[in-house]
Amino acid sequence: MPSHRAKQLSVLTMNTVGFTACFAVWVMFSVIGIPIKTGLQLSDTEFGLLAATPILTGSLLRLPLGMMTDKFGGRIVYFILMLSIIAPLFLISLATAYWQFLVLGLFVGAAGASFSVGIAYTARWFTKKRQGFAMGIFGAGNAGAAVTKFVAPSIVVAWGWEMVPVIYAIAMTVVVILFWFFTYTDTEHHVESSITIWDQVKALRDPTVWKYCQYYSLVFGGFVALSLWMTKYYMGTYGHGIQEAALLAAIFVLPSGLIRALGGWLSDKFGAHRVTWSVMWVSMTCLFFMSYPQTELVITKIDGNTFSMHLGVNEYMFTALLFVVGIAWGFGKASVFKYLSDEYPENIGVMSGIVGLVGGMGGFVLPIMFGALLDMTGVSSTAFMLLFGVTLVSLMWMQYSGEREKDKTRIKQFYPIDTAP
């Protein structure tokens, strides 16, 4: 019989592997959507909807599946969820019409709900002092988006986009089998049967949780949106091929996923508010420069002569800023969920479902808005202008939230040295 420690590590490992696979599937259209867009002659808005459609169902299912995780346990819910997306994945390879891709995208999008299941399943296996770090490791499964950026373009070039969902379906089958054999159930982690779904839904009345939803709609919703958008952005703005563009996009995606574990540790040590506050300031600074459009400025001197000046961020500086934003959002994704484990330890499944739902909806709405803004203005940097505005709203909300004193109290509970600001 494995020890409790062995079970902890096995559950954490398989949860993370499963989430990585699910996230790779969830953002699959960010790559295969590009040849589909060309073949079906879609507009940028239609491409944005295609890429974002899986995000919709993945977001909407997070709340009910978070509730089910509290009620029935993470193992069985996670297993059935991953099993359910295998058939729709394979069917995508047979689709030919735009509506077919949208409908199948809705079914495959259930993979995104794996987050609210896995985060609650993971958290309940660890003590409060270590939950931030454990949830950060699990959240590093966001790097599944980078898996798609590395793997899918090569498959597209070698065998065509149709093989991507087929290979993903085979890989998901293997993950499902391994998950079932290397995870465990502890009935003490379940919510008492006297707690009804209505009791859980009443959590929506808590105004504090909506504040965390706002933060997560940026650090996670923005991450998902840019994961879907950046391959196309590099192709359209800088003229790269699909493989080069996807690799450049991975510079944002991969570190943002992997760094999440460190963000969880920092949130345990210094408090969720301090980490999130820093994330917002770094994000706003970088997005300010990234949102500036490429501009040719003609200046007339007093003698009537003119000279021109080019203003804008070049590709190298843009990529560096994108990398920094990815790191910041990786920290932020962990720190927001540290808030939840601190404030809602007995109801983390439903709370993570609520926050994950709203954050995921950000990932659904933002790519569509990116496409609509691009179609309306023809200015590619409008996507970053929009993200800059969302960051500004989050910072203003944080300024007047009174969270700093809460952080100090929590930190002193676990660390005798006052490390709070």
- The helix (run of H) or strand (run of E) holding residue 309 is strand 306-311
pLDDT at 349: 64
Q: Ranked by mean pLDDT, which of 51-60, 184-193, 395-404 comes out on top?
A: 51-60
Give the single-character DSSP code of 293: P
Could you read off the pLDDT of 104-152 as tens digits, one per residue? 999 999 998 998 899 888 888 887 777 777 877 887 787 888 899 999 9
CA angle 294, 300, 305 (to 5 degrees): 120
pLDDT at 256: 80
**Interatomic CA distance for residues 196 and 194, integer angstroms:** 6
Closest of 323, 318, 330 to residue 291, by C-alpha = 318
Please tell me the total number of residues recorded for the chain in this structure. 421
Question: 197 falls in which pLDDT band (50, 70, 90)?
Answer: low
High-pLDDT (> 90) share of the chain, %: 47
- Report, as an integer, the average pLDDT of 71-84: 92
**Interatomic CA distance for residues 132 and 264, integer angstroms:** 4
Bridge partners (DSSP) of residue 193 are: none
- The helix (run of H) or strand (run of E) holding residue 296 is strand 295-300
Closest of 56, 74, 51 to residue 367, by C-alpha = 51
Q: Which CATH class is domain 4-413?
A: mainly alpha
- The helix (run of H) or strand (run of E) holding residue 71 is helix 62-72
pLDDT above 60 (res 418)? no
Of the two residues 1 and 9, the one the predictor is more confident about is: 9
